[in-house]
A and B are shown apart, each in its own frame.
Chain A
Amino acid sequence: MKPFFTRTRLLSLISTAVFFASWQGLAMWLNSPVLPDVIQVAEVLWQAIVSGELPHHLGITLMRLAISFSIAMLLGCAFGIALGRHQALNAFFDQWLVIFLNIPALVTIILCYVWFGLVESAAITAIVINKLPNVIVIIREGTRALDKDLLEMAQIFRFSKFKTLRHVIWPQLHPYVMAATRSGIALIWKIILVVELLGRSDGMGYQLHIFFQLFDVASILAYTIAFVVVIQLIELLLLKPLDRKALRWRR
């Protein structure tokens, strides 16, 4: 068995400690309400957790993330594979893709709220529209890079459409799907807060908006820390194991 404190683990532990120590030092030196020290923030964080406020808002944001992420990935993979496989389809939709890729997130969010009202579905739609073109582009590239030899093999041995998708295409797309997932979660986190700030009365974005108005920097930092921890957990408990499982065949 490997020792718990490997060299890499020790290094990342030290780096975390250095980060918090410099923060603490800077805060003590500045002694300003704009930068509260680590202990203050920890207290606020603890209070927010115990009162149930943070879990409530974080939970709502996470749920929005999960729903919009799933929709965007599902549609994105379907469209991406279709565009990668069919040249005519790609020629037709390429312009649309470029347009949607470059519309500022704020514009889609505002338009969705204006057109559909300040409702949950408008919020989800806005997030999906922002993320979808990204997934499509990544998966399309993956589909274009598919190994033609293996596809021919599948054709010769009469693999059904589903079997080809599952055993020949999907494993080749895996790295692209993981790239879309990682960049997707990061992008959605950023957009989701703006969506909540502009038109929702719960969630992390809404809370941050209130803290901004109250000039409550300690709470902003506490919520940010909660945020970072959740991202780390998703990476550690969800994405890393998925990677390991899918890539076990590699030398």
Chain B
Amino acid sequence: MTDFLVQIHNKTYPDKQHPERVHQAIANLEFNVAQHQFVCLVGPSGCGKTTLLNIIAGLDTQFDGQIILPGTKPAKIGYVFQNPRLLPWHTVRENIELACHDGIDARILDDLLETMQLTRVQQSYPEHLSLGMSRRVAIIRAFAINPDILLMDEPFVSLDAPTARQVRQLLMQLWRQRPHTVLFVTHDLREAIALADRIIFLSTPPMHVVRDVQIPLSAEQRLNESPIEQFRQTLLNQYPDIACLL
């Protein structure tokens, strides 16, 4: 199985107000990810994290560099967008089934719904769900295709804190059952520490890697606030340059 490599030398946008000028979004960004690693990308809002995910996902092909994806060719990509992006005219279950290119075993789908506590609403339409529920459906959809790589773009943004914590724990439960290579974008350092094996800190545009840090916390430690808070303090003391990125 090939590793997963991201190498972007240059990515520019034409400036909308001044067409003769260009805006450099990414410059010399490079990292690779081992199989089944959970990596958080942390950076300030508007630094181009979504652009990066879109490039990796193949939605944006206008850049200078290369992306080597793991697994089968073409790699199966699970994407959890910032908005759930469910088809409103299909039920929860249909939404997940439709995403599965080769179909999905009903029992596997039942399991996934059970883990995410969505069994009860599987025949509902997305407009009848809360945002937290829709997010969970989007997460199942991405897991259900058994992806070679899972991209998650701030999937818990605009959830209230208890709901976010609940969905985060459900996500970890799911990920431990079915480990996948994950790239998880967030601007919340606590969230990143709670989830990731490794955090990559990204700069303001032109975006590049500032720091690359392993998170040695155990699963139990991640359940509590204090070890996470402690580790956060250690990180900030050790690398003062990341404070301005948060």
Say if the beta carbon of A52 comes within 8 Å of chain B: no
- Assess A149 versus B81: contact at CB under 8 Å? Given A249-B89, A250-B127: yes
- Contact indicator B128/A251 (Cβ below 8 Å): yes
Contact of A150 among B59, B77, B87, B125 (CB under 8 A): B87
- Contact indicator A157/B99 (Cβ below 8 Å): yes
Contact of A171 among B89, B101, B145 (CB under 8 A): B89
Say if the beta carbon of B246 comes within 8 Å of chain A: no
- Contact indicator A156/B88 (Cβ below 8 Å): no
Question: Given the complex, which residues of B lie within 8 Å of A171, measured CB to CB?
Answer: 87, 89
- Chain A: interface residue total (CB-CB under 8 A): 17
Question: Given the complex, which residues of B lie within 8 Å of A246, measured CB to CB?
Answer: 89
Please tell me the size bucket of the interface on B: 20 to 34
Question: Given the complex, which residues of A lie within 8 Å of B190, measured CB to CB?
Answer: none
- Contact indicator A152/B145 (Cβ below 8 Å): no
Say if the beta carbon of B137 comes within 8 Å of chain A: no
Say if the beta carbon of B68 comes within 8 Å of chain A: no
- Assess A167 versus B99: contact at CB under 8 Å? Given A149-B85, A156-B57, A249-B125: no
Binding site for B on A (CB under 8 A): 149-150, 152-153, 155-159, 163, 167-168, 171, 246, 249-251
Q: Can you list 21 pairs linking A and B with CB atoms under 8 Å apart? A: A149-B85, A150-B85, A150-B87, A152-B59, A155-B59, A156-B57, A156-B59, A156-B79, A157-B79, A157-B98, A157-B101, A158-B101, A159-B98, A167-B98, A171-B87, A171-B89, A246-B89, A249-B88, A249-B90, A250-B88, A250-B127
Contact of A167 among B90, B125, B145 (CB under 8 A): B90
Could you tell me the dominant secondary structure of chain A's interface residues? helix
Query: Closest 5 A-B residue pairs measured CB to CB?
Result: A249-B125, A157-B99, A171-B89, A153-B85, A156-B79
Say if the beta carbon of B83 comes within 8 Å of chain A: yes
CA distance A156 to B89 in the complex (A): 19
Nearest opposing residue in chain B for A171, CB measure: B89
CA distance A168 to B90 in the complex (A): 10
- Assess A168 versus B87: contact at CB under 8 Å? Given A156-B59, A156-B77, A163-B98: yes
Question: Given the complex, which residues of A lie within 8 Å of B87, measured CB to CB?
Answer: 150, 167-168, 171
Q: How far is the CB of B60 from chain A (nearest CB, A)?
A: 10
